[in-house]
Amino acid sequence: SVANTNGGAGTPWFLLDVSRAIKPIILQKRRDFDFVAKDKLTDDNVFNNKEFVYGADARGNVGFGFWQFAYGSKQTLSATNYATARAALSGMKGDYGRPLGIMPNLLVVPPSLESAGRKILNSEYASGGETNEWKGTAELLVVPWLA
């Protein structure tokens, strides 16, 4: 039995290894975005309703790649829980117990956890005054849609 989460009920955050060709999440673009505008004075919607219509047309999909490269948590984002996530990812094994060599390098957080993420990844010292062992171990990505 193996998991890539430690549960919780708080704000979600994610630790990823995005250093390899295969990613934990894959975006497939079949047709790139095309901006569409119905804003000419001769368009029916503008002439009849004084309504300007804008949109985008595209084809694509998103899916999971190698799930072992991602770890999600709703626990408090703290140095202890960050260490737990790193240990879980680094300890992932493949078939027959072969280590996968995963080294997480991207911490993804919503804006409400940006401060906690910056303290873990950028501060010289931890909250008790000792050296912060997690400084520089990952990049921080703040994603507003996780809020």
Based on the fold, state whether residues 55 and 113 are members of the same structural domain: no
CA 26 distance to own-chain centroid: 12
Instruction: Report pLDDT for 140.
Output: 98
Q: Which of 41, 63, 85 is the last residue of a domain?
A: 63
Residues 12 and 43 in one domain: no
pLDDT of residue 82: 97
83 shares its domain with 118: yes
Q: Domain tally for the chain?
A: 2
Last residue of a domain, one of 46, 63, 80: 63
Give pLDDT, residue 73: 96
- Based on the domain organization, do 119 and 79 belong to the same domain? yes
Same-domain pairing of 56 and 126? no
| Backbone Cα Rg of the chain | 21
Counting as low any pLDDT under 50, the low residues of the chain are none
Pick the closest to residue 70 from 86, 81, 59 (CA basis): 86
Domain that holds residue 37: 30-63
CB-based contacts of 71: which residues, under 8 Å, 6+ apart?
4, 5, 14, 15, 16, 85, 88, 89, 104
